Structure 1
Amino acid sequence: MPDSLEEGTIVGMTEQIDFLQLRDFAVSTAKRAAELITSRRAELVAGDGIAAHTQTKSSNVDPVTEVDTAAEDFIATTIRTARPGDGIFGEEGSNVDSTSGVTWIVDPIDGTVNFLYGVPDFAVSIGAEYQGRLVAGAVVNVARGRTYAAAAGQGATVTGPDEKPHLLRCGQTSDPALALVATGFGYGSQRRAAQAQLLTKLLLEVRDIRRIGAAALDLCRVAEGTVDAYFEHGINAWDFAAGAIIAREAGAVVHHPGFDKGSAQGELTWAAGADLAPAFEKLLAAHGATGALRG
């Protein structure tokens, strides 16, 4: 456990971890990966199309493209070169144990289906975990040119194409009936059926539901207040890591199942502004949503 938390650092017996440095490294790496993704996507579209360079993973609706793999390879190489003691936990298998205590949790393209179809909501997501807690992260909405970033104790920002950072604060809604809620769906038919049943209940008790297609961006939208809350069962650590620290630093309450739980366990991740969180959690519990959804 850390000995103290001051000015964006953890000070231990023999080392100091600078959260701002981790955040800036995540931002730089994610933005460079976004440039690679943009370039490679244009090449594929101009050639024989993205579909020709796409395979499936857990089901026939769970795609992975050659660009996902290339982006993760780039991110992993960048980390190994600049920070050789750090660990890597990547969606596409770029896993390295940490000797420094820092592990980078990487989703090279969060929202691959959006990427495949040209929907402009897919992101590079890079989060930093240290001694069991999220301490920094960056999420780049590739198509929209928006970079979300945070470091523990230092707040969260969004930077657009103008390169001017703007402080993020989540919404102040306290009533679930007035809340715009984001969610997502799994890839297995059994879980999708359970999620659909849950959604029909919640839809009657909130302002409306949004399905954006990228968990990292859902969490960033909680941070910026363009949605009031987000919930989803069965996402992985790379889906939520960077977005979770960004939402928390913007004032949200965030609950996730931890870094060692995968989508197969079907556990719940949710986030909401601090004013809304108590009532939103009660609403989820009232409909049995706080438990796992298998399948």
Structure 2
Amino acid sequence: MAGVIRRNKDFHQVGTGWNVVLNLIAGIFAFLCVFPFLFVVIISLTDEKTLATDGYRILPAQWSLEAYRYVFQSGDMLLRSYGVTIFVTLVGTVISLIMISLYAYAISRNSFRYRRFFSVFAIVTMLFNGGMIPTYMVVSQLMGLKNTVWALILPLAMNAFYIMILRTFYSTSVPEAVIESARIDGAGDFYIFLRIVLPLSLPGLATIGLFSTLGYWNDWFNALLYIDVPNLVPLQSMLMRIESSIAFIQQNSQNSSLSLTALQSIPQDTSRMAMVVLATLPIIFAYPFFQRYFVQGLTVGAVKE
């Protein structure tokens, strides 16, 4: 009996030691993942002259907010761009979730007669694309969305890959017996979907919602194609235009003394890092709201006991 107790004690000590080692490895890995962004924040708060003389350092000799002052010189335009991006992200994510969840639920049910047709239809769009010019003609001329906020929302609302993920989640996580019992009780399709399927599908919906949120927040290409009105320029597109202005001054600095003077007054490297911080920070704060269901949603289709 004493030998069994001793072996259990030794096993417990070994297990505790491995837990410490594994937690240490996980902590180091997490730090390595977070450190690049922290370093970007440090660079954005570094004085431009100090950065030019000392290079990149974790603890710079002189701190400065000049990069953020330069970016915020646009004033109301930057705040307006933030507002446009937030509106597009929120409305676009809601519309995307509604359309994708309804489409995926329909093709996940074996009772749907045209299930195979619409599944193949979605998969084909993943493999073939009409091209940039036809897409531009449809959005700007046929639908008349040019220089409207809907040109930033509707082209990204549907995604075939997200449909396939959510369809798999419905098929594996929503028991068919529950749906059949609800039908026997007289429930309709929309009642079943809203009251039974959606509450059971929160992990999958949170995963798709996070992907859609990231897609809308980081989108700048649609604004480049369809937006010419300054009031509708989103954040990513505006930061890209600021970066283009800096690059233009750099290229023409040798041809004009005025450009050279302007170039010397611009915090070039630190302003780029400040743009990265301004574009990334809000979405970092949004991630914890999805984290509760995100890991569970990523295990869609996993083997279950």
Whether these two folds match at TM > 0.5 is: no
Structure ranking higher in strand proportion? 1
TM-score by length of 2: 0.27
State which structure, 1 or 2, has the greater radius of gyration over its C-alpha atoms: 2
Structure ranking higher in helix proportion? 2
Higher relative contact order (CA 8 A, sep 6+): 2
